[in-house]
Amino acid sequence: MDNIGRECKSKIRKKDVELLSKLQNFNDFSCNKSEKKVINSKNVLYEADCQIKYDSKEQQTLLINIKIDIVSIILFLLAVITRFYKLGEPRNIVFDELHYGKYISLYMRRTFFFDSHPPFGKQLIATAAYLANFDGKFKFDRIGSEYSSNVPIFALRLIPALCGSLIIPVIYHFMLELSCQQWTAILAALLVLCDNAFLTQSRFILMEPMLILFGLFGLYCTIKYLNLQMYGASSQWIWLILALISLTLSLCIKYSGWFSWILGVSLIWVDYWKRIIPNRNISNKNLILKTIFQFSIIHFVSIILYLSVFYIHLSILKKAGPHDSVMTSAFQASLEGGLASITKGQPLQVVHGSQITLRHTHGRTCWLHSHPHVYPLRYPDKRGSSHQQQVTCYTFKDVNNWWIVKRPYKDTLVVGDPIDVIKHGDIIQLVHGITSRALNTHDVAAPMSPHNQEVSCYIDYNVSMPAQNLWKVDIINKEETDNAWHSIQSLIRFIHVNSSQALKFSGRQLPDWGFHQHEVVTDKVIQQEDTTWNVEEHRYTKSEDEKERERDMVSAEMIPIVATSLSFWQKFYELQYKMFFNHQENVQNHMYSSEPLEWPLIGRGIAYWVSSEHNAQIYLLGNIILWYSGVIAIIIYICLIVFYLIRRRRQYYDIDSNTWCHFTKIGHVLLLGYFLHYLPYFFVDRTLFLHHYLQALIFKCLLTAAVIEHVHTLLKRHYIFKIAYYAIICLWILAIVWVFRKFSVISYGIIPLSAVDVIKLRWKNSWDFIIHKQ
């Protein structure tokens, strides 16, 4: 208790002197009121100050500035040397260059592609490729195949390498801005510089270097903004905007950049909560206005930027390409040379007598199909069928995909004058074009999904199984077309009149007897994606004798435009929808996939590439000493903070308030950043790889440096310990550099290795390097 007393006294004295001046401008963004306490019986509130002495710092600015530049330039040069060394080699497709290279060549050819990540990273690389006159004609077929001479591989790899190099000086400044000492900042930058995983990842056409750079720079700007805001510098707004831009761009490279965005924005709001809201000098009205302003500026900047990235994406990619079929007919029709070329000039309104093909709108692309073959009498599991004509969903264009829309009471199929427009809610029959049988469903279990009804084209066997071939047209987006059924645009459900079930693509494949086409059933759950259909091709039925008049009528109904033009919003909405809900990319158990739990201790890496002649290879692997120290640093940090918290709760103050504030700030930014970028992967239901960990890893490296600094400050009184500590740290750094050098052969993949060399590098049994069989 003596200790407390002494400390309290000294603090009260300090407080008396400084209280008035501090009431105005005290508060650091991470700490303020948390340390209210009651001393003895006097109810004196004491607020710990976390202030850095601004005046003294400002005087030094000039001096420091020069130092900073030299240091960061040296760091940058070191990074450039390591990252750019023989960047053009190997001249082969390395790992995911396969995908990204393909996307970039599609950008060059302005051909539409579909990827579940946002496009900004690819756009950056595509810009570099465009400037280097890449024609996009190279075929990215498989990992390891050699680039032809017309691929400017250096230019393609330039942006990731540059970003990877820029990360190093940004780290240096970021750590300084977190009020770490200069040597800590240098150490942090060096640690990242000497990590093999960052090196490997920065040398190829991959997204992570850009993702990390923008995320980190955004956070740097955020901290800078918060620090400047404390003494109201007007340049703070520039930093806020910069922060938001950078964080949003990180999000536009990969959705995992969103974690950085969340971190940055939460830092801003926490600061707002602690500093602005308690400020009674701001009136309630002004506070509300200020909050709205801050809120809208944060989201406005982010949303505008996100939208413009997609706007650029969609306005560049104008031509139809290999990924079209993922999108709806309407989207495809808006692309040059896609559906537009087919649908040009076809009538818009679906009427009695229309000949149509019906596309399954969402998910797998296929068209409603039928053929003269019938369902087998009995299935292998002894269930019976109706033995009527099969109806399937077929993934290819075929003459058997044509259906004719017919009103039940009209016999002639000719399109009359005036045309008989089908509207929402009308009852129709669908007659198969080639076999002239009507689409039918009945209470017979479907072949592959026995809980659903079978769909067939009705054949009358005279076995007291009457035709049930009436369907109600349910137009989902009827508001857009004033209840009328339009080709391409209208999304339709067919509701069976007798059973009120909806026509549905079940997703299962029929066996041999169904030619492996997809099964079509009806389902009582009407509102689901797989019950949605739309008309793709469309023409009116013309009869022989009235040919001339028909043609007139048809040409009067022609759509005047060349292609349907969807607005940016419609395209954007559809693309986003598909990106979030279309998980077709599920790579089946990739050979080098790993679990989040294996990452911190490098359970396994990823083989990126191996030379076809010798064992030179590129294998993604971290610097094992650094990664293990990172884990230890996190444990030390958590133990220390728990210890401090418990001690402070008992009013023992082991470290002075400046150190404490610095320590918690580190935790708030770096430890939280680490967990925010790491823990979500435990809940992701996708194939994961080691490189997903890199974003979190960077925070771990920085935290390691910060913890080293903190332990150093703890040791300040013990001279001998301090010397020993320096020695240990030096040895440790040397070890890291040595491991970095040793494993750099598999980061660069340039030096030929013998099988023995490779096995020597296998420090962990689970690192499965590739060794050619002799």
Partner 1 sequence: MTKNTCIKENKVGISKHNKFNTSWWVLFILMIAFSYVTRLYKVSQPDHVCWDETHFGKMGSWYINRTFFFDVHPPLGKMLIALSGYLSGYDGTFPFEKPGDKYGNTSYVGMRMFCSTLGMFVVPFGYLTIWEMTKSVDAAAFAALFIVCDVGILTLTRYILLDPIFLFFMMGTVFGITKFRTLFHKPFSFQWWSWLMFTGFMMTSCISVKFVGLFTVILVGLKTIEDMWDILGDLKKPFKYTIQHFCARFLVLIVFPILLYMTYFYVHLQILNRSGNGDGFYSSGFQSQLIGNSLYNAKVAYGAVISLKNHRTGGGYLHSHYHLYPEGVGARQQQITTYTHKDENNHWRVKHYEKEYEEESPVKLLKHGDLIRLEHVASKRNLHSHKIQAPVTKKHNQVTGYGENGVGDANDVWKVLIEGGSDGEVVNTVTSKLKFIHYLQLCVLTTTGKQLPKWGYEQQEVSCNSNLRDKNSLWNVEDNIFPKLPNVSFEVYAPNFLKRFIESHAVMFQGNAGLKPKEGEVTSKPWQWPINYRGQFFSGNDHKIYLLGNPIIWWSNLLFLLLFVFIFMYNAIRHQRGYKDPPKVARMKNTMLKSCTWLFVSWMLHYVPFWAMGRILYFHHYFPALLFNSMLSAVVITYILESARFMFSETIFTTIYHTIKGLIFSFLLYSFYLFVPLSYGMPSTPATEPNSTMYGLKWLDSWEF
Task: Give min distance, CB of 773 to partner 1, in A.
Answer: 9
The residue (of 334 and 531) whose beta carbon lies closer to partner 1 is: 531
**Interface residue with partner 1, options 236, 582, 593, 651 (CB under 8 A):** 651
Q: Which is nearer to partner 1, 116 or 651 (CB)?
A: 651
Rule CB under 8 A: which of 286-325 touch partner 1? 287
- The torsion angle over the Cα atoms of residues 529, 530, 531 and 535, rounded to 10 degrees, is 100
Shortest distance in whole angstroms from residue 259 CB to partner 1: 15
| DSSP collapsed to 3 states, 25-85 | HCCCCCCCHHHCCCCCCCCCCCCCCCCCCHHHHHHHHHHHHHHHHHHHHHHHHHHHHHHHC
Q: How far is the CB of 683 from partner 1 (least distance, A)?
A: 4
Which residue in the set 54, 237, 273, 577 belongs to the binding site for partner 1 (CB under 8 A)? Answer: 273
Residue with tokens 């066996």: 511
Contacting range for partner 1; rule: CB under 8 A; set: 125-133, 569-577, 649-657, 727-735: 649-657
Residues 474, 423 contacting (CB under 8 angstroms): no
Residue 388's Cβ-side half-sphere holds a number of Cα atoms within 13 Å equal to 28
* Closest CB 344 distance from partner 1, rounded Å: 36
Q: Which is nearer to partner 1, 646 or 730 (CB)?
A: 646
Give me the least distance between CB of 574 and partner 1, in Å please.
22
Q: Which is nearer to partner 1, 487 or 531 (CB)?
A: 531
Cα 81 to chain centroid distance, Å, stands at 31
528 binds partner 1 per the rule CB under 8 A: yes
Exposure letters 268-288 (e unless 16+ CB within 10 A, then b): beebbebbbeeeeeeeeeeee
Residue numbers 681-700 binding partner 1 by CB under 8 A? 683, 685
Q: Which long-range contacts (CB under 8 A, 24 or more apart) does 36-43 make?
A: 37/651, 39/8, 39/12
The residue among 449 and 713 lying less far from partner 1, judged by its C-beta, is 449
Give the interface segment with partner 1, choosing from 320-328, 340-348, 522-530, 628-636 (CB under 8 A). Answer: 522-530
Total of chain residues touching partner 1, rule CB under 8 A: 25
Binding test (CB under 8 A) with partner 1, winner from 22, 507, 603, 636: 507
Stretch that binds partner 1, among 11-19, 136-144, 577-585, 646-654 (CB under 8 A): 646-654
411, 512, 544, 548: which one binds partner 1 (CB under 8 A): 512
Tokens of 249: 């761009």
Q: Which token pair is 665?
A: 């700030």
Residue 418: asked if its preceding bond is cis (omega within 30°), the reply is: yes
Q: How many CB atoms lie within 10 A of CB 63?
A: 9
391-430 footprint of partner 1 as x/- string (CB under 8 A): ----------------------------------------
Q: Work out how close the CB of 43 gets to partner 1 at its nearest, in angstroms, rounded to a whole number.
A: 11
Cβ nearer to partner 1, comparing 20 with 591:
591
370 forms beta bridges with: 391
Q: Which stretch binds partner 1 (CB under 8 A): 6-14, 483-491, 644-652, 691-699?
A: 644-652
Query: Which residue, 506, 548, 542, 550, is CA-closest to 525?
Result: 506
Q: Which two tokens stand for residue 465?
A: 């199984």
Task: Annotate each residue in 590-609 with x if it binds partner 1 (CB under 8 A) or - if it does not, as one string.
Answer: -x------------------
CA atoms within 13 A on the CB side of 263: 33
613 binds partner 1 (CB under 8 A): no
Please answer whether residues 658 and 56 qualify as being in contact, where contact means their C-beta atoms are separated by less than 8 angstroms. Answer: no
Q: How is residue 196 written in tokens?
A: 């093999």
Residue 697 phi, psi (nearest 5): -60, -35
Count Cβ atoms within 10 A of the Cβ of residue 618 and give its class: 0-12 exposed, 13-18 middle, 19 or more buried: buried
Verify binding: residue 144, partner 1, rule CB under 8 A: no
Contact between 723 and partner 1 (CB under 8 A)?
Answer: no
Nearer to partner 1, 201 or 506 (CB): 506
Among 278, 408, 425, 752, binds partner 1 (CB under 8 A): 278
Q: Which residues, including other chains, have CB under 8 Å from residue 555's CB and lie 6 or more apart?
A: none
Q: Is the separation of the CB atoms in 633 and 664 below 8 Å?
A: no
Site string for partner 1, 448-487 (x = CB under 8 A): -x--------------------------------------
The phi, psi pair for 509, rounded to 5°, reads -100, 145
Measured from the CB atom, the residue of 462 and 588 that comes closer to partner 1 is 588
Cα–Cα distance for residue pair 107/659, rounded to 1 Å: 51
Q: Are strands 402-406 and 427-432 parallel, antiparallel or unpaired?
A: antiparallel
Tell me the closest approach of the beta carbon of residue 256 to partner 1, in angstroms: 16
How far is Cα of residue 563 from the mean position of the Cα atoms in its chain?
31
Contacts with partner 1 in 533-552 (CB under 8 A)? Answer: none
Q: Which of 508, 542, 712, 742 binds partner 1 (CB under 8 A)?
A: 508
Phi, psi of 707 (to 5 degrees): -65, -40
Between 42 and 280, CB nearer to partner 1: 280
CA 393 to chain centre: 32
In angstroms, give the least distance from the CB of 287 to partner 1: 8
Q: What are phi and psi of 371, to 5 degrees?
A: -150, 165
The window from 146-154, 165-173, 279-287, 432-440 that contacts partner 1 (CB under 8 A) reads 279-287
70: contact with partner 1 by CB under 8 A? no
Structure tokens at 404: 């004719």
Among 115, 546, 757, 768, binds partner 1 (CB under 8 A): 768
- As measured in angstroms, the least distance from the Cβ of 522 to partner 1 is 14
> How buried is 95 (Cβ within 10 angstroms: 0-12 exposed, 13-18 middle, 19+ buried)?
buried
Which residue of 382, 650, 716, 717 would you call a contact of partner 1, by CB under 8 A? 650
Q: Which stretch binds partner 1 (CB under 8 A): 115-123, 182-190, 280-288, 633-641?
A: 280-288
- Cβ proximity to partner 1, 607 vs 701, nearer residue: 607
SS3 102: helix
Largest Cα span, the chain: 113
Region near partner 1 per CB under 8 A, out of 56-64, 263-271, 278-286, 654-662: 278-286
- To which residue do tokens 């592609």 refer? 113
Residue 142: CB minimum distance to partner 1, A: 14
3-class SS of residue 6: helix
Interface residues for partner 1 in 34-63 (CB under 8 A)? 38
Q: What is the DSSP string of 261-290?
A: HHHHHHHHHHHIIIIITT-TTS-HHHHHHH
Any contact of residue 646 with partner 1 (CB under 8 A)?
Answer: yes
Pick out residues in 572-591 that bind partner 1 (CB under 8 A): 588-589, 591
**Which tokens sit at 501?**
């079930």
The smaller minimum CB distance to partner 1, of residues 36 and 86, is found at 36
> Quick one: tokens of 283?
């009136």
Nearer to partner 1, 56 or 283 (CB): 283
By CB under 8 A, tell whether 280 contacts partner 1.
yes
Left, alpha or beta for 634 (phi > 0: left; psi -120 to 50: alpha)? alpha
Dist. CA 663–CA 640, nearest whole Å: 10
- Give the one residue of 27, 506, 564, 611 binding partner 1; rule: CB under 8 A: 506
| Residues near partner 1, by CB under 8 A | 38, 273, 277-278, 280, 284, 287, 449, 506-508, 512, 525, 527-528, 588-589, 591, 646, 649-651, 683, 685, 768
